[in-house]
Amino acid sequence: MYSTRMSNLPPYLFARIDEMKTEQAKKGVDIIDLGVGDPDLPTPPHIVAALCAAAQDPDNHHYPSYAGMPAYREAVASWYHKRFGVTLDASKETLALMGSKDGITHIGEAFVNPGDYVLAPSPGYPGYSTGTLFAEGKVHEMPLLRQNNFLPVLDNIPKNVARSAKLMFINYPNNPTSAVAPLSFYREVVDFATDNGIVVVSDNPYSEVAFDGYRAPSFLEAKGAMEVGVEMHSLSKTYNMTGWRIGMAVGNAEILAGLGRVKTNVDSGVFNAVQHAAIAALSGPQDCVREACTIYQERRDVLVSGLRELGFDVPAPKATFYVWMPVKDCMSFAATLLNTSGIVVTPGIGFGSSGEGYVRFAITRPVERIKEAIERMRRLDL
Ligand SMILES: *Cc1c(COP(=O)(O)O)cnc(C)c1O
């Protein structure tokens, strides 16, 4: 009944974890879910208020424009300028998205012919490979290894693959490894993409979730980046708005026009009231972002120091709300934690073959729950 394309979708490894979670919950186990990459904190009230007001206005009840309201696109351009010093022409170099996943999974349709290579990090966000699959391209995995600070080694990409690749996905601050990239890495990517005629897609939804004074750069800050690529960004993680489905693609006008043309044919834009709320988020006070980071940072400190006391060799992330921890066998480690202690973590293999040997903790739960998780692990004697 289903297409071959469907049968080529990667196996949903998280389904097994979900099943086990349900089993434990049925037994009455108090589950501590550190699996989900979704902020537990609410959307700041001034943003919710902007949505409510905009929803009352009948002018906002019609089909939105495909590319986004001019005022939203201006707010995106101003935010990029304020935050990264990147200058964008709002009318050509910005595009509204229904979350960055929308851009990530649809951009392949505009650039990839059947059989073309797409370079994607492993471990990585699953959208890079599913988007490629729907465009009938082939993923070439770029392993992210600890000895390389979880940055891909561009010299290791075979020349024939590099020359025939159409797209390259990069993602820093990174999910799931929580690694960050220096601007010098982005310069290398620009050179590589220029030499090989590759469109770069930088996925940057975690730029604002950072600790210890770290400021993540944008790919577009690198010289020449505007010539070869675009960046997908999102309000999901910055303003706790995962449910709202609003983000942006910014960068090279011609590349964005390709993505825009695909989207014109598959969706009808983002609800104008949501765009008004997003303007309030991007243009309003940013204390809420700093407050959220302070909360995540405390959770990170509790989790990392707890895990280190238990003997695990775990780096403290500078950004993202993930802790990426080496273990022997990720599936069995995750299953043991869940079945003996009710703690949910994500096995690294779920993010691609190079994720084996790691589990991901999401610090999207209150600090008391993280302390409780550490206590349960201590009793386990792992
Ligand atoms: C959360 C996430 C996204 C998608 O976020 P949206 O809610 O679609 O904006 C994209 N990439 C990575 C790496 C993510 O973790």
Q: How confident is the model at residue 55 (pLDDT cuts 50, 70, 90)?
A: very high
232: tokens are: 């997908």
Whether the upstream peptide bond of residue 366 has omega within 30° of 0, thus cis, is no
Cα of 71 from ligand 1 centre, angstroms: 23
pLDDT of residue 8: 82
Under a CB-based contact definition with an 8 Å cutoff, are residues 251 and 259 in contact? no
Q: How confident is the model at residue 276 (pLDDT cuts 50, 70, 90)?
A: very high
Half-sphere exposure of 28 (CA within 13 A, CB side): 0
pLDDT tens figures, 204-226: 999 999 999 999 999 999 999 99
Cα of 101 from ligand 1 centre, angstroms: 6
Which atom of ligand 1 is nearest the CA belonging to 245?
A: 7
Q: Are strands 247-251 and 32-33 parallel, antiparallel or unpaired?
A: unpaired
Cα of 212 from ligand 1 centre, angstroms: 23
Cα of 302 from ligand 1 centre, angstroms: 25
Q: In a mutational test of the pocket of ligand 1, which residue from 38, 150, 169, 237 has the highest number of ligand atoms less than 8 Å from its CB?
A: 237
pLDDT of residue 46: 98
Under a CB-based contact definition with an 8 Å cutoff, are residues 359 and 345 in contact? yes
For atom 2 of ligand 1, which residue has the closest CA?
A: 205
Cα of 218 from ligand 1 centre, angstroms: 16
The position carrying tokens 């079945």 is 339
Residue 324 φ then ψ, to 5°: -110, 110
Q: In a mutational test of the pocket of ligand 1, which residue from 43, 236, 246, 320 has the highest number of ligand atoms less than 8 Å from its CB?
A: 236
Domain pair 4-43+287-378 / 45-283, same fold: no
Cα of 60 from ligand 1 centre, angstroms: 26
For atom 6 of ligand 1, which residue has the closest CA?
A: 99
Which atom of ligand 1 is nearest the CA belonging to 125?
A: 13
Q: How confident is the model at residue 148 (pLDDT cuts 50, 70, 90)?
A: very high
pLDDT of residue 302: 98
Measure the CA–CA gap between 199 and 369, rounded to whole angstroms. 42
Domain spans of the chain? 4-43+287-378, 45-283
pLDDT of residue 239: 98
pLDDT of residue 14: 73
Question: With 0-12 CB in 10 A as exposed, 13-18 as middle and 19+ as buried, what is 4?
Answer: exposed
CATH code: domain 4-43+287-378 is 3.90.1150.10
pLDDT of residue 10: 74
pLDDT tens figures, 170-181: 999 999 999 999
Residue 377 has pLDDT above 80, yes or no: yes
Cα of 29 from ligand 1 centre, angstroms: 30
CATH class of 45-283: alpha beta
Cα of 58 from ligand 1 centre, angstroms: 31
pLDDT of residue 17: 82
For atom 12 of ligand 1, which residue has the closest CA?
A: 125
Cα of 192 from ligand 1 centre, angstroms: 25
Which atom of ligand 1 is nearest the CA belonging to 241?
A: 7
* Ligand 1 surroundings by CB, under 6 angstroms: 37, 99-101, 125, 171, 175, 203, 205, 234, 236-237, 242, 247
Mean local confidence (pLDDT), 8-33: 86
